[in-house]
Amino acid sequence: MFNLFVFEHVSRLSIEIDNQQHRAIKMLAASEGMSIKELILQRTIGRAAQTESSAKVMEDETEFLFSSAVNFKRLRGAVTAPDEENIVFESLKDLEDALGI
Instruction: Give mean pLDDT, residues 2-19.
Output: 73
- Per-residue pLDDT, averaged over 35-43, amounts to 87
Whether 10 maps to a domain, the answer reads: no
The answer to whether position 72 is within a domain reads yes
* pLDDT score of 3: 52
pTM over 0.75: no
* Cβ-contact 99, 44 below 8 angstroms: yes
Closest among 6, 31, 26, 11 to 92, alpha carbons compared: 26
* The predicted structure's pLDDT at residue 86: 66
- For the chain, the average pLDDT equals 76
The mean pLDDT value for 81-88 works out to 69
Question: Residues, the chain, total?
Answer: 101
Q: How many domains does the chain have?
A: 1
pLDDT in tens, 23-36: 888 988 888 888 89
**Is 59 in contact with 66 (CB distance < 8 Å)?**
no
Q: Which domain holds residue 28?
A: 19-99
